[in-house]
Amino acid sequence: PPVIDVEWNGESSCRRRPSRETVLEKMQVFMDKLERYYGQRPIIYTSPDFYRDNLRGAFPDYPFWLRAVAAHPSKVYPGRKWLFWQYSGSGLSRGVSGRIDLNVFHGDERQWRNWLDGGQMVADAD
């Protein structure tokens, strides 16, 4: 499925941030278009500060991919269900030069295979 990456950009020359209401409205419009086009509900990737400012309590029926490199998602995003967790932004992997993001799927092998076969799921929060 498609993934929508929503984070604050500290490198942007635009210092004025939109309101939570504007963020949620624009995200919903975009995600509706993605779902119509791809036939799959998009995954929302986000960071702790953007989530705190905009997404807490929003989009409960969407799968989330959460960045939490300092602590488990249950500590950084209390009560939020998640499908993927980015637990490092500085991992190493054989055959890849430089640092890479490291992520984990929230489920067992059977759930992973089901998800790969097109099964939608929103994992429980823990």
pTM of the predicted model, to two decimals? 0.91
**33 located within any domain:** yes
User: Which residues are designated catalytic?
Assistant: 7
3-state secondary structure string across 10-33: CCCCCCCCCCHHHHHHHHHHHHHH
Tens digits of pLDDT across the chain (126 residues):
999 999 998 888 877 899 999 999 999 999 999 999 999 999 999 999 999 999 999 999 999 999 999 999 999 999 999 999 999 999 999 999 999 999 999 999 999 999 998 876 666 666
Domain-embedded: residue 121:
no
Full residue range of the structural domain in which residue 102 is found: 3-116
Does the residue 73 lie in any domain? yes
CATH number at residue 108: 3.20.20.80
* Contact (CB, 8 A) for 90 and 52: no
In a domain, 63, yes or no: yes
Contact 6, 49 (CB under 8 A): no
Question: Would residue 123 count as lying in a domain?
Answer: no
Q: Is residue 125 part of a domain?
A: no
What's the structural domain count of the chain? 1
